Amino acid sequence: MPSPGAVVEVEELVKRYGDVVAVDGVSFEVQRGEFFGMLGPNGAGKSTLMRMIYQVTPRTAGELRVLGMRAGEQARAIKQRLGVVPQMDNLDEELRVVDNLLIYARFNGIRGAEARRRADELLAFADLEEKRRAMVRELSGGMKRRLTLARGLMNDPEIVVLDEQTTGLDPQVRLNLWNKLEELRARGKTLVMSTHYMDEAERLCDRLVIMDHGRIIATGAPQALIRDNLPPLVVEARAELGEGAGLEQAAERLGLAVVRSGDRVSVFVADADAALARLREQGWRLLHAFVRPANLEDVFLKLTGRALRE
């Protein structure tokens, strides 16, 4: 049974392209007002799932409801209340900045003074007031991203769908975009975002699903996902040359979870000082050892045996 506050309801949703299964029977719900994330590596099925939610990819099987309406049948009505910010810049290069916004309003049936009022407001939100009459090609990468976001907000959507927003952006631009998204969340919008950046998901999302090979492998709040799957701390260290495997085994004998790559080991622990002391007691020399909190990247690694980004 869907809970009363659910604005996106996904049930056993499947998308196949010939023999390729892009989305393999996923189920989840997004609640009104929450910042919901989909975390996973490239090819995990995030974008396909996003496209199904914003009604440009028909489903193969399963159920999908957005704002209580069935996907496909009520595509227009759903899209009218959804804001979409796609992964690739697909702004209208032949139109000016402000016309990019105004034509989007027209596409959604908003016209005249109301459209102009919203365009003014969103140009301010996107810090693009001075570029109002500029052509799209004159904008920098970060400005294009902000304009794409503003465009997705022209219909004052209840849900904003953001696909891989910060891929390829430099850190400062990324931070700026994060602030914009947090501002939207504070205004009560429901946000659904896909990303393959663990730090992004951890910082922004109230709740998320971790995806791999078209399936959901974990669901929950970022901190809960970490807490439920791993000890809170990670000791990162390097063994002496050629001693990596030995150190890994020693840690395992102490009952600790370990991931090794060459002579580098990550040891998951509750008490870092105690673990380091016991390893040193056994005569292991740990080079460049440091302790950090466990994160979603580690959760992905634990659940799949692979790193999130290769």
Partner 1 sequence: MRGRTIVDLRGAARVWQRNLWVYRDRWYYGLLPNFFEPLFYLLGLGVGLGYYVSSGGQFGEGYLTYIAPGLVAASAMNGAAFETTYNVFVKLHFGRLYDAMVTTRVNMEDVALGEWWWAVTRALVYGGIFLLITLLFDTPVTWRLLLAVPAIALVGYCFSAIGLAFTSVIHIIDVFSYFFTLFLTPSFLFSGIFFPVEERFPSALVWVAQATPLYRAVRLVRGLVNGHWQGLAFDAGYLLVVGTVLGAFAIWRMQRRVIR
Report if residue 259 touches partner 1, rule: CB under 8 A. no
Q: DSSP E strands: which ranges in 164-246? A: 190-195, 207-212, 215-220, 233-238
Q: How far apart are CA 128 and CA 101, in angstroms?
A: 12
Q: How far apart are CA 298 and CA 147, in angstroms?
A: 34
Cβ of residue 54: shortest distance to partner 1, in angstroms?
6
Specify which residues 207 forms β-bridges with.
Answer: 36
Specify which residues 159 forms β-bridges with.
Answer: 82, 190
Instruction: Report 142-181 residues binding partner 1 (CB under 8 A).
Output: 152, 155
* Structure-token match 């976001």, residue found: 149
Cβ-based nearer residue to partner 1, 18 or 283 = 18
Report if residue 88 touches partner 1, rule: CB under 8 A. yes
Give the total residue count for the chain: 310
Report if residue 307 touches partner 1, rule: CB under 8 A. no
Cβ-based nearer residue to partner 1, 25 or 232 = 25
Report if residue 24 touches partner 1, rule: CB under 8 A. no
Find the DSSP H helices in 84-192: 97-107, 112-125, 141-152, 171-186
Binding mask 102-141 for partner 1 (x = CB under 8 A): -xx-xxxx--------------------------------
Cβ-based nearer residue to partner 1, 80 or 176 = 80
Binding residues for partner 1 (CB under 8 A) = 17, 54, 56-61, 71-76, 79-80, 82, 84, 86, 88, 90-96, 99, 103-104, 106-109, 152, 155
